[in-house]
Structure 1
């Protein structure tokens, strides 16, 4: 039976973290992707990855950003939305090189837990790209700010990151760029942690109970 190659050592990403760990003791890697379209489960590809880290409700200075050569044309509407053109990615790394660089950034910063806004979309994009290139990987716990917002404000059902950031009074960076959206998500996440702690939700176990989408993407 054919076994896919590991993309990254499991022990370096999937850590044994006590569930009673207070969130202030964790380092969170907040990430985002831009893609050639929304059908990432089939034919669309990643064209940018951005990330930043949070610890003790503070956004750390060191960021990560890379364009990705998708090995296909970028539609005009995506270029219009993101500003990323075929020329932008012509000399960019392959998707596997880019993902490995992102994993190195997360590991180097001791990112215990990943966080995204509508993170299931980004994880599916990673999943398909990794599988397409005949690799496999185990990812760490991943939380979705959509779930955290939904817990705090159950009536909210929109996906729009900018609206949530505005409603929770957090900073808004340039939209539809992976690093800009990661930074916006990071500042929103810090605000959400304050509100969650006010409700007694302080530990990793609490955050996992509210949002652990990794259970659907444990091993790719």
Structure 2
């Protein structure tokens, strides 16, 4: 199954108040294994960058002013997303900004039915524990030493590893084992059918002969206080 793990960086917390998406990073996974295919882009938000937001991701307006508009990258982005489920940490936030950018250029929103929220999964799996991306990386032993500031592609790559752990861990081979078992069962069924269709043999006798029974009684007789003598 193809899935896309993604993350966004923005100018703030609320697209309804004029905040814009300035970066998106996407990682393709097939059967919960990263394929190496990614999509990454910065966008010119055509507005200022609040100091609080810049402190989080380090993206200045002077840097972003040199980047293309969202409308110039949207076709490439949507082609990469395809119709795959979209995995994000606190996914409602990222979906809100992505769909806001699409609405601003008159494009259809991404169906929220495709949304997979790793925060919700983490809260269900680890009730009462911290579920930030940093906390989950620590819990699962995922190296995040290179994460000095938030970055959409880096965070998507880390989240892809966290997502694997949240949904069963790195034992991908178990799926292969299950498939092998199915094959073995199928083969076993074929073998039984073949055996049933083959020549029928009379059952072999398994009862002891009179000579064997006599030797057994003689052996028991040599055992002191034998249970079999009672």
State the partner residue of 1:28.
Answer: 3
Report how many residues are paired.
168
**Larger radius of gyration, structure 1 or 2?**
2
Is it true that 1:152 corresponds to 2:125 in the alignment?
A: yes
SS in structure 1 at match of 2:15: coil
Q: Which has the higher contact order (CA 8 A, sep 6+)?
A: 1
> Which residue of 18, 37, 58 corresponds with 2:33?
58
Residue in 1 aligned with 2:219?
A: none
State the secondary structure of the residue aligned to 2:168.
helix
Structure showing the higher helix proportion among its residues: 2
Give the C-alpha shift of residue 134 in structure 1.
2.6
Q: For 2:107, which of 135, 140, 143 is the aligned residue?
A: 135
Computed over aligned residues only, the root mean square deviation of the Cα atoms, in angstroms, reads 2.2
Deviations for 1:48-99, whole angstroms, at most 9, x for unmatched residues?
Answer: 0111012223222122110000010112232232121112211212123333
Q: TM-score, normalised by structure 2?
A: 0.66
Question: What is the distance in 1 between the residues matched to 2:97 and 2:167?
Answer: 27
Deviation (angstroms), 1:35: 0.2
Structure 2 CA distance for partners of 1:47 and 1:167, relative to 1, 3 Å:
same
Could you state the TM-score of these two structures normalised by the residue count of structure 1? 0.69
Q: 2:155: which partner in 1?
A: 181
Unmatched tracts of structure 2, length 5 or more: 172-230
Given that 2:123 and 2:131 are in contact with CA atoms closer than 8 Å, whether structure 1 keeps it comes out as no
Aligned: 1:122 with 2:97: no
Give the Cα separation in 1 of the matches to 2:85 and 2:64: 29
Q: How far 1:159 moved relative to its partner?
A: 4.9
CA distance change for structure 1 residues 123 and 138 in 2, over 3 Å: closer, same or farther?
closer
Output aligned runs, 1:7-22, within 5 Å: none
Deviation at 1:32, TM superposition (A): 0.6
| Distance in 1 of aligned mates of 2:36 and 2:151 | 18
